Amino acid sequence: MDHIEKLLKRKLEIEKRRERLLGKLEVARSSLTELDKRLKDRGIDPNSLQEEINRLKSQKEKAITELSSALEEAEKIITRIESRVGNL
């Protein structure tokens, strides 16, 4: 195979690789568009997704703290009741 044929073969291979990458890029863009649509349908701005994640994390931490406090209070009440029942 002479030099020109090798170059043409390389060119064709590069073109095939480029086409595969363009196909993957199109799929990725389509997926991103669908994801953006789903976020918008749920009332979430895709451009402020990190802010939404931070808000939800904060909300979760607050709920955990409140639950922990409620459980501690319930344990105290149960312990008092058990103590009173034990003294009967």
Tokens read off for 16: 């095939």
* pTM, rounded to two decimals: 0.56
Query: Residue 15: what pLDDT?
Result: 96
- Give percent above pLDDT 90 in the chain: 84
pLDDT band at 86 (very low <50, low <70, confident <90, very high): confident
Interatomic CA distance for residues 66 and 59, integer angstroms: 11
Residue 88 pLDDT > 80: no
H-run or E-run covering 2: none
Query: Residue 1: what pLDDT?
Result: 67
Average pLDDT over residues 33-60: 93
How far, in whole angstroms, is CA 50 from its chain's centroid?
10
Instruction: Give the burial class of 44: count Cβ atoms within 10 A of its Cβ; 0-12 exposed, 13-18 middle, 19 or more buried.
Output: middle
Query: Residue 60: what pLDDT?
Result: 97
pLDDT band at 87 (very low <50, low <70, confident <90, very high): confident
